[in-house]
Amino acid sequence: MSTPVSTPAPAGSGASPSGAPVDEPRRSGGRRVVDKLIRARELGLIVVLAAIVLITGILEPAFWNADSLSDTVLNVAIIAVMTAGMTLVIVTRNIDLSVGSILALSAFLCGDLLAKNPDMPWIVGVLLAVVIGAACGLLNGVLVTWGRVPALVVTLGTMYALRGVAFLVTGGRQINAQDLPDSFLKLGSGSVLGVPTLILVALVVIIIFWFVTRDFAWGRQLYAIGSSGRSGGHAAKLAGLKSDRRVTQAFVISGALAGLGGAMFAARYGTVDATAGQGYELRVIGAAVVGGVAIAGGSGSVLGAAIGAVVLGTIQTALIVLKIDDFWQQAAVGALILVAIALDRLIANQSEALLRQRSARRRTAA
C-alpha cells in the first residue's frame, strides 16, 4: 500500500482539496484520466470550430472575408473576458446571473466619465468600470457566503436590481460615439502589431486566469471547493480551506471582469444606454458550459470556456450570414448547450467509472 500524502488538488480535475490526505497513485491516475478527457473536449471544440468556418465559408464565401472574421472575433472578445470570470464562479458550484447588468452599469458610467472629461486618460474610465464591477461582485459574494442565500437567487435579484440602477443612473440618456474621446474609441477599433487591441486584452485575461487556476494553490482551491460542494462542502472545511473567502473572491473577480467587459463594450460600440448587455449573462454561461465547465462545479478550464465562447459566437455569426431565421438561431444555440451538458455528464460518469475500476484493482492486488 502506498503511504498517504498531502497534495494539492489539480486544477480542473475535481480532485481532493488542497491539504486533504489522498492516495497518491489514485490521485495521479485520476488526474491523468480527467486531464485526457478535458484535453479531448477542448480539441473537439477546435475541430468543431474549424468545421463551422469551413462549411459556412463554402456556403457563403463572404464569411471568409477578413473584415467579417475580425468582427466575429472582436464581438467574442468581450464574452470571452466575462467567461473567464464566470468560470471561476461556476467551478465553485455557484452561478452569476448579474454580469449583463454589471456590464451595462459599468459601461455607462465609464463612458459618461470620459464624455464629461474628454482630456482625462482613458485608462481612468476603464479602471472605474473595473472597480464598479468588483463592488457589484463583492455584494454578490457577501450575500451568497455570509447571507447563506443560494447564488442563483442572489444573482437573479442583483441582475434586476443593478439593471434598475442602470436605468436610474442613465435617466433615459444615451452615450454616443461622438461624445467619447477618440483615444478611448481607438481601444475598440485599434490594433497592436496588426492584432486588434480588444483581442489582446481578452488573450491576456484568459492566459492569466488559465495559469492561475492551473498552477497556483488559490486556483486549485476553487476546484476543491466545487468538488466538495457535492457533499455539502465538508471535505473543503476538513481540509482547512477558507471556502467563504475563496467564493467571495471568485464573485469579485467575475464582477471586475464584467466591468472590464463594460469598458470594452463602450469602446467597441460607442453607443451605450441602460439596455446594454441584455442577455449577455446567458451567452457567458452558455459559452462556459459549451467549453466544458461543469455546472455541478469542480471541473473545467478557463481556456476551454474561452474556446466555447469563440465556438458559440462563430455559430451565431454563421447562422446570421447564412440568413437563418432568428428562431432557428436560438434553437441551434440551445441545442448546442444541451449537447454540451450531456457530454459533460458523460465525461464525468466515464471518469468516475475508471477511477472506481482502478480502486477495485488496487484493493484486489493488495
* Nearest Cα to Cα of residue 22 among 9, 35, 11: 9
Q: What is the pLDDT of residues 267-318, one digit of tens each?
A: 999 899 999 989 899 899 999 988 888 888 888 889 989 999 998 888 888 8
Rounded Cα distance between 207 and 153, Å, is: 31
**Given this model, what pLDDT does residue 22 score?**
41
Structural domain tally of the chain? 1
Q: What percent of the chain has pLDDT over 90?
A: 42
- Structural domain boundaries enclosing 92: 22-361
Decide if 14 is inside a domain.
no
- Residue 306 in any domain: the answer is yes
pLDDT tens across the length of the chain (366 residues): 433 333 344 444 444 444 444 444 444 444 555 555 566 667 777 887 888 888 888 888 877 776 777 778 888 999 999 999 999 999 999 999 999 999 999 999 999 999 999 889 999 999 999 999 999 999 999 999 998 899 999 999 999 999 999 999 998 889 999 989 998 998 888 888 888 899 999 999 999 999 999 889 898 889 888 887 554 455 556 566 778 899 999 999 999 999 999 999 999 998 999 999 898 998 999 999 888 888 888 888 899 899 999 988 888 888 888 888 877 777 877 887 787 777 766 766 666 666 677 667 777 776
Beta bridge partners of 192: 195
Asked if residue 108 is part of any domain, the answer here is yes
Q: Is residue 15 situated within a structural domain? A: no
3-state secondary structure the chain: CCCCEECCCCCCCCCCCCCCEECHHHHHHHHHHHHHHHHHHHHHHHHHHHHHHHHHHHHCHHHHCHHHHHHHHHHHHHHHHHHHHHHHHHHCCCCCCCHHHHHHHHHHHHHHHHHHCCCCCHHHHHHHHHHHHHHHHHHHHHHHHCCCCCHHHHHHHHHHHHHHHHHHHHCCCCECHHHCCHHHHHHHHCEECCEEHHHHHHHHHHHHHHHHHHHCHHHHHHHHHHHHHHHCCHHHHHCCCCHHHHHHHHHHHHHHHHHHHHHHHHHHHCCECCCCCCCHHHHHHHHHHHCCCCCCCCCCCHHHHHHHHHHHHHHHHHHHHCCCCHHHHHHHHHHHHHHHHHHHHHHHHHHHHHHHHHHHHHHHHC
Residue 249, domain CATH:
1.10.3470
Q: What tens digit of pLDDT does each residue of 227-256 get? A: 875 544 555 565 667 788 999 999 999 999
Does this model's pTM top 0.75?
yes
Q: φ and ψ at 195, to 5 degrees?
A: -100, 125
Predicted local distance difference test score (pLDDT) of residue 40:
62
Per the domain annotation, does 301 fall within a domain?
yes
